[in-house]
Chain A
């Protein structure tokens, strides 16, 4: 504990989570009730970014196509809901299972390639899913589909309903913490050691007799499932799905959140999602053409912002300075 108390990054992250937990209580009182939704969105993107960070930050796999799993999670939920199946116990496992299967197939092919090829093939696979979504005439094709009911978790008439805004918010918080916990366990297990090993030197991992490909593939599937979960949550929050949620700029934004927060750190993705979405929220309130500032700002972050937000906070620590 003494160690944590002296670590600025840990303190900052702790404060952040306290703030997130207080938002639905405090924000409506001071007339900023709108921010409950903003923070719900931040948590959903955080979950997705944590999922991507698992392979990108710890496994060195830069996937430029993770928005596909947002779409797969969202569409599975949305399509089931469209056909009158609102039960979350059916919707969620099915959506996660489909995310896993798709991630397995895409990963199995993509992971045969390296570097730029990997970036581009994941991008192309995601575009494939995007075009598939855009051609589903029954489900709104390009215009998307409005969803009328959020998931219900009824057992015999009683049980939580995601229609309750506050319950949904704290469910998001719990899921975010759960996903971070799972990642922490994965990264520090033997599996995680191998994964990090393949990032720094895959040949050596091979040389000591570990089939690196399989480890990378399993990590890729887990990552896809986590992003699929974020997709379900996003479609539940917005009550809307459209191919745009899996269009390639979403994949780029996801990568940005991971890098912005601090790649290969547990809480970095949360900071990244927070910084990215708040910045977008604030800039867009000033001018309609906020991309003119946002774009160059992102370039500057890439060029000069080593280690992201957490890296910056870390440097405040006198021991490292």
Chain B
């Protein structure tokens, strides 16, 4: 176990964290502003991945594929918002959970019909396929570095959008008091659609980014969606800053746990026991983390300040 290996695993954790942030940012925005629990957020992630795969394979360019997949995912997201979700804003969370659960079943089956049951692999362009030499003797995949860079850029962009633009001001106003914002002449319906669109694009983008690494497959959205839920619960629902920090924390802890937990357990356990407990414990690690955080802070680490019930 060298320092370089540890740092590489840390970077892998960062990469997962950034991906989780892309999903969690949309979830937390949609929840914070529209008070909507959207289980089908993971479906947009999946749809984004399949669009990127299809366009990349058809046009033989990953970059153009992603550029086309972004508006395509946006359109799917907006259709879902207008057709199904709009009626759910006024409903309680139970109805929202159930209806979006129905949406997941629908989307998974739709993808199976359109793209077939097997997943789609996405070839990377030669530029991104290699690895780069970083300081401290680390050799790291160029593409994973790109994912990290994109994620950080998106986080910065979101920060600027929400904190320093007029649209961001309206979004914040809508989040802290929907009725008041509406009374002051903000078109809340349009604002909701816009925010949902942003969330959809971010989820789709996450799917497009991961597709070359782990291919586009049916059900890919649900596993990561539950992780994204953990992220927004840890971070405090409605807080983008909380989502960012919690996403990185979750990504790094999950990856490091999977990589090193059995070796740590070996220090004070017999080999047999460590080999059994290692994988089991590492897959449960972030849920234990979440339980611990919620035990002490039921509202998460960074609960948004003003939220009307």
Contacts and interface: CB of A to CB of B under 8 A. Distances in A.
B276 A128 contact: no
B142 interface: no
A112 B226 contact: no
A125 B106 CA distance: 26
Given A109-B295, A298-B101, A302-B102, A119 B37 contact: yes
A295 B103 contact: yes
A119 B226 CA distance: 12
Contacts of B101: 249, 252, 255-256, 298
B295 A112 contact: yes
A33 B294 CA distance: 50
Main secondary structure of the interface of B (DSSP, over half): helix
Main secondary structure of the interface of A (DSSP, over half): helix
B280 A248 contact: no
A117 B99 contact: no
Contact of A299 (B103, B229, B233): B103
Interface residues of B, number: 46
A121 B291 contact: yes
Nearest to B101: A252
B150 interface: no
Contacts, number: 124
A109 B237 CA distance: 18
Interface string A104-141: 00000100111111011101110110011011111000
Nearest to A255: B98
A117 B276 contact: no
A79 to B, nearest CB: 14
Given A116-B37, A299-B99, A292 B294 contact: no
Interface string A277-293: 00000000000011110
A158 interface: no
B31 A116 contact: yes
B98 A298 contact: yes
A297 B288 contact: no
B6 interface: no
Nearest to A135: B280
Nearest to B110: A292
A303 interface: yes
Contacts of A138: 276
B226 A64 contact: no
A306 B286 CA distance: 38
A294 interface: yes
Interface centre among B87, B101, B109, B284 (most CB of A within 10 A): B101
A119 B97 contact: yes
Interface centre among B31, B113, B287 (most CB of A within 10 A): B287
A255 B96 CA distance: 12
Contacts of B287: 124-125, 127-128, 131
A62 interface: yes
B105 interface: yes
A256 B110 CA distance: 21
Interface of B: 31, 37, 39, 84, 87-88, 91, 93-95, 97-99, 101-110, 112-113, 222, 226, 229-230, 232-233, 237, 276, 279-280, 283-284, 287-288, 290-291, 294-295, 298-300
Given A259-B94, A291-B109, 19 more contacts: A62-B97, A119-B97, A120-B233, A125-B287, A128-B287, A131-B283, A131-B284, A132-B283, A136-B280, A137-B276, A138-B276, A249-B222, A252-B101, A255-B94, A289-B109, A292-B110, A292-B113, A298-B105, A303-B87
